[in-house]
Amino acid sequence: MKDTILTKLTSKFGEGSFVSSEFRNELTIVVPPDRINDVCRFLKEEPDLSFDFLADLCGIDMNTPEKRFGVIYNLFSLKNKYRIRLKVFVEEENPVVPTVTTVWGTANWHERETYDMFGIVFDGHPDLRRVYMPDNYEHHPLRKDFPLMGIPGSIPLPKK
């Protein structure tokens, strides 16, 4: 299955577009951000692959000067009983990733959560609002530079 995926991806998108690695029989593919939507659609709609289930989508803060933020897509193919993981990395100055809500509807709330916690903007998302934090909150709590106890006074409390 692993070879099928890699062969089909390279024949479709060309040699050298991806970096793939394998750890304990789990395939991980790093995709350039502008390609992610096409790759996801291809993986879902190609009959031999049919990764029809987006099991999870989450963000990561690598806390590095370059390619600080990442988005991780965990895909599952119900037909082939096979899982792969896609990764996308973006720069701190402009953390924008194209949305995959057009491919899997379930990505909607996952992307909202990732936006809420990391401040990664999903371009083309139909309703990119916060999920957990108050709507007018200015920070992104799961970033590595966010203090654990929060920023004092950033969320108002009712008067005693």
Partner 1 sequence: MGLEKALGDSFLLTKLDDAINWCRKNSLWPMPMGISCCAIEMMAFAGPRFDASRFGSEVFRFSPRQSDVMIVAGTTTYKMAKVVRKIYDQMPEPKWVIAMGACTSSGGIYRTYSVVQGIDQFLPVDVYVAGCPPRPDNLLNALILLQGKVQRGESKGTEPAYVGEPPAFARQRANV
Report in angstroms how near the CB of residue 139 gets to partner 1 at its nearest: 9
What does the binding site for partner 1 look like in residue numbers (CB under 8 A)?
Answer: 132-134, 141, 146-151, 155, 157-160
Report in angstroms how near the CB of residue 117 gets to partner 1 at its nearest: 11
The CA distance from 20 to 52, in Å, is 21
- CB of 64 or CB of 154, closer to partner 1: 154
- CB of 85 or CB of 130, closer to partner 1: 130
- CB of 7 or CB of 63, closer to partner 1: 63
Hey, what amino acid is at 108? Answer: N
Report in angstroms how near the CB of residue 156 gets to partner 1 at its nearest: 8
The CA distance from 118 to 134, in Å, is 15
The CA distance from 19 to 36, in Å, is 13
Tell me the chain's radius of gyration from C-alpha atoms: 17
Helix (H) or strand (E) run with residue 6 in it:
helix 2-13
